[in-house]
Amino acid sequence: MPPVTETVLEVNLHNLQHNFTFMKDFTKPNTKFLAVVKANAYGQGAVEIAKFLETLQVDYFAVAYVSEGIQLREAGITTPILVLHPQSHNYYKLIEYKLEPSLYSNFMVNSFIKIAKELQLKEYPVHIKFNTGLNRLGFSLEEIDALASSILSQHHVKVASIFSHLAASEDINEKEFTQNQIHAFKTISEAFSKQLGYTPIRHLCNTSGIINYPEAHFDMVRCGIGLYGYGNNKSVDAQLKPVSSFKTIISQFHHLKTGESVGYNRGFIADKETVTATLPFGHADGIGRQYGKGKGFVTIQGKKALILGNVCMDMVMVDVTNINCNIGDEVLVFGESVSAETFAATANTISYELITGIAARVKRLYLY
């Protein structure tokens, strides 16, 4: 591919297809596959990503909020979309755009049924979330009887799926905790299905669950970060392909004498003659101040260039003293050779935070 001429996020859809196939191969042929495209498809661009995944025949999409689902519907996506945190004031819009809500409390269930009744809906698909240990959202085992009674007392909604969320499926030290979650989900889903008189789709596993707990795949799996190239497991990460590469160019050089400083608050003071390169991205683009002062680095001509001083809103300065480079040369922040996980670790954070935080003003280039 030709060198970039500005700050861009290159999104490689061939790599996305590779990751989809790789993750799906962990499951049995009849196991449904839900692709998580919330947070702008983890920063990659929800519409383009969903359109491409739809051609690969995923069974479901999941988004966090109703507005994200509306964006996909207006772009022509017809695959079922689960809204994980719908919020009751959005129910009318949710129904208008044929989105499917996650209901996780009596308030959510009762308020949705009320609107479904008002609109004279029949067996509108809803998804019931149970809490098995993450303690974030969801019904408890003790609430099953009352919940089932609410569902069975009307015909306006029907349970399409029962699900929960693993809290530590990537952590081998928490295997016992995860196995307890799996057991709890089995108990809950069996009891609730018995009350309903039918068995909805059951799903529990996220990316790490798909990889580490095949016994918990149930009827469907939910894959987010794995699709975008990260599996929370070194051996798996080696086989996945990062979908996005954050690239930019060199704007200008400065030759510092000993004692001269760089950037705001004189965040770097040269202790020897130093050559710096200024790059056109900053914390307004999603690369925060935590990467400054020598923690983060970029790659220029295959060599590491440390970020000097404080990251500015629109610019960073890097040390190129020992790198033979020119104005306009391509700079890699993260991508296939230096992963987002590696770059994020320099600031003691994770790939999720880094890739979902890349600002909308950064141009996305889709490579087929």
Catalytically active residues, by annotation = 38, 264
Residue 297 to residues 155, 358, 367, Cα–Cα distance (Å): 58, 17, 25
The alpha carbon of residue 1 and the mean position of all alpha carbons in its chain are separated, in whole angstroms, by 26
- Separation CA 204–CA 310 (nearest Å): 42
CA angle 178, 181, 184 (to 5 degrees): 155
Three-state SS annotation for 58-110: CCEEEECCHHHHHHHHHCCCCCCEEECCCCHHHHHHHHHCCCEEEECCHHHHH
Q: Which run of H or of E encompasses 246?
A: strand 244-249
Q: Which run of H or of E encompasses 187?
A: helix 175-196
Distant-in-sequence, close-in-space partners of 94: CB < 8 Å, separation ≥ 6: 66, 69, 83, 86, 101
- Separation CA 242–CA 108 (nearest Å): 37
CA angle 360, 338, 26 (to 5 degrees): 85
Burial of 348 (0-12, 13-18, 19+ CB in 10 A): exposed
- Separation CA 258–CA 145 (nearest Å): 74
Residue-level length of the chain: 368
Terminus-to-terminus CA distance in the chain, angstroms?
Answer: 11
Residue 79 φ/ψ region, left for φ over 0, alpha for ψ in the -120 to 50 degree band, beta for the rest: beta
Residue 70 CB coordination number (10 Å): 19
- Separation CA 71–CA 287 (nearest Å): 26
The answer to whether 126 touches 83, Cβ cutoff 8 Å, is no
The answer to whether 55 touches 283, Cβ cutoff 8 Å, is no
